[in-house]
C-alpha cells in the first residue's frame, strides 16, 4: 500500500450538525452516517432522518446515535488498547498495519468498537469500517489479512507495546521488536 492510502486509517468523528440542513444534533438523536470516496480520500457525512431520505451515492451507510462525549479527563493513564490504537494510527506508518488491526479486534471484542461495513479499496484491500460506541467516531482500518503463522508475532508485538512482558520468544524476535520501538 502506498503513502496515498494512509488516510484510510484516520478517525472520522461524527458531525455536530446535519450535513444537509445544518441543524445541530441533540444528545441520543438517531442519525445516518454515509461514507464517500471522493478525490482519493474517504469522507464521512452525517444526516438527520429527514435529510437522509434524499439520495446520496455513498459507499457505505449506517444508522447511529449522536452522543455528546464526556469531558476529557486530564489524568495521565497507563497506555491502554484504545490509546495505543490512536497513537499508532496517528503515526501513519505502514509497519503498524497489523498491530492496528489486532488492537481494533481487541476493542471490538470489548464491545467498544462496532463493525459497520466492509469495502474493497482501489488496490483491492479489505477496508473495515468501525464505529466507537461511546463517541460515534468512525475508524477505517485496512485488514492485513494475517496468516495464522504471522499472528503470534503480531500479538507479541502488541503485548510489548502495551507494556506487557514478552513470552518465551526467540532472542532474534525480541531483538527485532526492540529495534522497532
Q: In this structure, is residue 3 part of a structural domain?
A: no
Q: In this structure, is residue 177 part of a structural domain?
A: yes
Q: How many CA atoms lie within 13 A of 7 on its CB side?
A: 10
Q: In this structure, is residue 7 part of a structural domain?
A: no
Same structural domain, 63 and 93:
no
Where do runs of H (alpha helix) occur along 10-144? Answer: 49-52, 81-91, 97-109
Beta bridge partners of 119: 127
How confident is the model at residue 8, as a pLDDT?
53
How confident is the model at residue 64, as a pLDDT?
93
Q: In this structure, is residue 4 part of a structural domain?
A: no
Q: At 3, is the secondary structure helix, strand, or coil?
A: helix
How confident is the model at residue 3, as a pLDDT?
40
Same structural domain, 88 and 128:
yes
How confident is the model at residue 99, as a pLDDT?
94
Q: Give the domain-ending residue among 36, 68, 100.
A: 68
Same structural domain, 89 and 147:
yes
Structural domain including 119 reads 79-181
Same structural domain, 109 and 169:
yes
User: Contact, 35 vs 60, CB < 8 A?
Assistant: yes
pTM of the model: 0.60
How confident is the model at residue 42, as a pLDDT?
84
Beta bridge partners of 110: none
The whole-angstrom separation of Cα 25 and Cα 3 is: 35
Per-run averaged pLDDT (10 residues), the chain, 181 residues: 49 88 95 88 91 87 89 58 92 91 94 94 91 92 91 88 70 45 39
How confident is the model at residue 96, as a pLDDT?
93
Neighbours of 73 (CB within 10 A): 7
Would the CA dihedral through 88, 89, 92, 97 be positive or negative? positive
Number of independent structural domains in the chain: 2
User: Contact, 42 vs 7, CB < 8 A?
Assistant: yes
Same structural domain, 48 and 25:
yes
Amino acid at each position: 500500500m502506498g503513502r496515498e492510502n494512509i488516510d484510510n486509517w484516520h478517525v472520522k468523528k461524527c458531525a455536530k450538525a446535519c450535513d444537509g440542513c445544518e441543524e445541530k444534533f441533540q444528545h441520543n438523536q438517531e442519525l445516518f452516517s454515509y461514507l464517500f470516496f471522493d478525490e482519493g480520500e474517504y469522507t464521512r457525512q452525517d444526516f438527520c432522518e429527514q435529510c437522509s431520505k434524499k439520495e446520496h451515492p455513498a459507499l457505505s451507510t449506517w444508522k447511529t446515535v449522536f452522543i455528546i462525549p464526556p469531558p476529557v479527563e486530564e489524568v495521565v493513564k497507563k497506555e491502554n488498547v484504545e490509546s495505543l490504537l490512536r497513537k499508532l494510527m496517528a503515526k501513519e506508518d505502514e509497519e503498524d498495519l497489523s498491530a492496528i488491526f489486532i488492537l481494533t479486534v481487541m476493542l471490538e471484542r470489548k464491545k467498544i468498537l462496532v463493525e459497520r461495513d466492509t469495502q474493497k479499496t482501489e488496490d483491492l484491500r479489505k477496508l473495515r469500517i468501525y464505529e466507537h460506541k461511546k463517541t460515534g467516531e468512525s475508524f477505517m482500518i485496512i485488514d492485513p489479512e494475517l496468516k495464522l503463522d504471522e499472528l503470534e508475532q503480531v500479538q507479541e508485538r502488541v503485548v510489548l507495546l502495551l507494556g506487557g512482558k514478552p513470552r518465551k520468544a526467540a532472542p532474534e524476535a525480541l531483538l527485532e521488536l526492540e529495534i522497532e520501538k
